[in-house]
Amino acid sequence: MTTDPNAMNPITEDDIAHYLASSPEFFHRHAELLSAVQLTSPHGQRAVSLQARQAEMLRDKIKVLELRIMEMIRAGSENMVISDRLQRWARQLLQVPTPGELPAAIVAEIRDQFMVPQVALKVWDVSAAYQGADFAQGASADARTFASSLTQPYCGVNAGFEALQWLEEPKAVQSLALIPLREGPVTEPTPAFGLLVLASPDSQRFTSGMGTDFLERIAELASAALARLRQE
């Protein structure tokens, strides 16, 4: 007695799908099926043809792509605005007449150009002429060690950092950015000679997942300008 192999191994949906995927000529031979197939529309319970269902799927994909494009355009516009502000900020630094005025100018321009509610800056290892200035006072050994440990700006919640005490209203801070100042790229593990603090009452202004490219540019420009305090 022989057994029909097909009875033991019935054809499955996967078998059919594999056959259709590997045999595109099937629909050339049976083109009438394309117009006869009826599917349920995702936008209701009505039945639609296969072509109409494919058209709906394409429209949905196009909508997703349009949203992505709009998001890219929005992000590009925001980056252009920030880039323009960064250029204006750098231009203002170039116009500061004396090195001793640079820390105050950096703080004021960041507050104005980037609309950061609270900004503070401390610099150490400066030349003798500036060691008595306010910007050269108040950073403990721990704060200096912490600044040197940063190889990128810290962005996140108020975790009680010492640097918050350099601000006018530390209790109002919900999020902040701590930016190390050092010679060369901010990402290098060389000793820092300063720390820049940007703070906001908005908990979402500075977050751990945000990009730090512009903050790194600010750090490098500020570091290059403040190097004058260490040379005279």
**Partners of 47 in the β-ladder:** 40
How long, in residues, is the chain?
232
Cβ–Cβ under 8 Å, residues 48 and 59 = no
pLDDT at 166: 96
**3-class SS at 162?**
helix
Tokens representing residue 114 in the block = 């980037």
pLDDT band of 198, cuts 50, 70, 90: very high
More confident residue, 24 or 154: 154
Torsion angle, alpha carbons of 90, 96, 101, 102, to 10? 20
More confident residue, 29 or 193: 193
The C-alpha atoms of residue 37 and residue 52 are separated, in whole angstroms, by 10
pTM recorded for the entire structure: 0.66
**Partners of 155 in the β-ladder:** 177
Predicted confidence (pLDDT) at residue 173 exceeds the cutoff of 80: yes
In a 13 Å sphere around the CA of 104, the CA atoms on its Cβ side amount to 8
The C-alpha atoms of residue 198 and residue 120 are separated, in whole angstroms, by 7
Cβ–Cβ under 8 Å, residues 99 and 229 = yes
User: Distances from the Cα of 201 to the Cαs of 116, 156, 169, in angstroms?
Assistant: 10, 12, 10
Residue located via tokens 């490219």: 213
Phi-psi label, residue 156: left if phi above 0, alpha if psi -120 to 50, beta otherwise: left
**3-class SS at 154?**
strand
pLDDT at 80: 74
pLDDT at 117: 94
pLDDT at 86: 79
Cβ–Cβ under 8 Å, residues 218 and 196 = yes
Tokens representing residue 107 in the block = 């703080």
**Burial (CB count within 10 angstroms: exposed 0-12, middle 13-18, buried 19+), residue 32:** exposed
Percent of the chain having pLDDT more than 90?
Answer: 48
Q: Which of 76-90, 162-176, 185-199 has the lowest mean pLDDT?
A: 76-90
pLDDT at 128: 92
pLDDT at 87: 82
Average pLDDT value over all residues in the chain = 84
pLDDT, one tens digit per residue, over 103-145 is 999 999 999 888 999 999 999 999 999 999 999 999 999 999 9
pLDDT, one tens digit per residue, over 68-111 is 888 777 766 676 777 788 788 888 888 888 999 999 999 999 99
Tokens representing residue 156 in the block = 């996140």
Beta strand 154-157 with 38-40 is: unpaired
Phi, psi of 187 (to 5 degrees): -80, -5
pLDDT at 31: 65
More confident residue, 135 or 3: 135
pLDDT at 75: 66
pLDDT at 232: 57
pLDDT at 95: 85
